[in-house]
Amino acid sequence: MMHSKYKNKDSIVMENAGIRAEFLPDPGGKMVSLINKKTGYEYLLQRENERYRDQPFDGVFVEGECAGFDDMFPTIDVCEYENEPWKNIKMADHGEVWSLPWNYQFKDDSLHMSVNGARFPYTLEKKICFTGEDSIRMYYTLTNNSAFDFEFLWAGHLMINIEEGTRVIVPDDCKQAITILTNGNGKFGDLRDWPNFRDMDGNTYRADISRPENVKGFEKYYFNNKLADGWCGLEYPGNKNKLTIAFPVDTVPYLGILMNEKGWDNLYNIIIEPCTICYDRPDVAKKHGQVSKVKAFGKYNWYINLTI
């Protein structure tokens, strides 16, 4: 591990024989780069701006850097907390932790990072270490520092580079998808058979394979089931690169996908979102019978493992 610079920000680089990973303690404790050293491929979306696009706390996520791998917690969409003693307190856009500075320290060949809540009494920690020449893992611990249960949404917001023909691979039980955002054929809450979607002209296309840039597609959905196995994979054309994302289904049981074929912000990328609940906000998820919570003075644990 070593200190470095990412654009104008102080960063930390972790490197082994196969992977170079880079993190920003401030803001967000986020992973900004993940490079396959054998092929030179950068998996995480990079912006062309020379200076990092900062946003203040409670700012607008998409007006910030909006790249790399952010933690979305305790919501994605802006909403209000529903339960006492925090009833009607605003939950910030894309959550709190992406815009906050994280503390960090090096310990036992691992990077330890942590952040305390701004409007809610929690501590979110992650321990980052290599689990092999081709894999890196982030162990998360959420601690509730209050005498009341705390309901939340956590999603890993991995903005990943793709090429035309990149294939999304998911477990066999992922058969139906719930539409969240689309510029195609559908509306919020629509249930669709995956991977055969329809575009605005009514033509069927494969949602698991990235299309040419000129289609200007934009589609976000969640799979309509708790996963039996916690993983999602990307296979790139020519089989030179591959990325597998793994997570524990007992605490992170859902998976979201956003395929962006230059339909938003002229970007060509995919967002993979392992998550504790769907629908982008805890109150809406609760209406659909989905709740994730950490008990009073309790802890909630999960991990994300990235294998190249």
CATH code of domain 13-154+298-308: 2.70.98.10
> Please, which pLDDT band fits residue 201 given cuts at 50, 70 and 90?
confident
Average pLDDT, the chain: 97
Region of poorest pLDDT, from 119-133, 187-201, 277-291? 187-201
Structural Rg of the chain based on CA atoms: 19
Cα(249)–Cα(302) distance, rounded to whole angstroms?
9
Measure the CA–CA gap between 33 and 49, rounded to whole angstroms: 15
> Over 90: is that where the pLDDT of 42 sits?
yes
Give the model confidence (pLDDT) of 57-81 as tens digits.
999 999 999 999 999 999 999 999 9
What is the CB neighbour count within 10 angstroms for residue 283? 17
Q: Which pLDDT band holds residue 20 (cuts at 50, 70, 90)?
A: very high
Bridge partners of 259?
219, 270
Q: Where are the domains of the chain?
A: 13-154+298-308, 162-275
Q: What is the mean pLDDT of residues 222-234?
A: 97
Residues 251 and 224: their CA atoms lie apart, in Å, by: 16
Q: Tokens standing for 185?
A: 């054929």
Whether residue 191 contacts residue 158, with contact meaning beta carbons closer than 8 Å, is answered with: no
DSSP state for residue 215 in the 8-state scheme: G
Please tell me what DSSP assigns to residue 58: T
> In the structure, what pLDDT confidence band is assigned to residue 159 with cuts at 50, 70 and 90?
very high
Residue recorded with tokens 């916690």: 230
Cα–Cα distance between 209 and 197 in angstroms, integer? 11
pLDDT over 90 (residue 212): yes
Percent residues over pLDDT 70 in the chain: 100
Kindly report the pTM of this predicted structure: 0.96
Looking at residue 239, its pLDDT comes to 77
Residue 200 — pLDDT band, cuts 50, 70, 90? confident
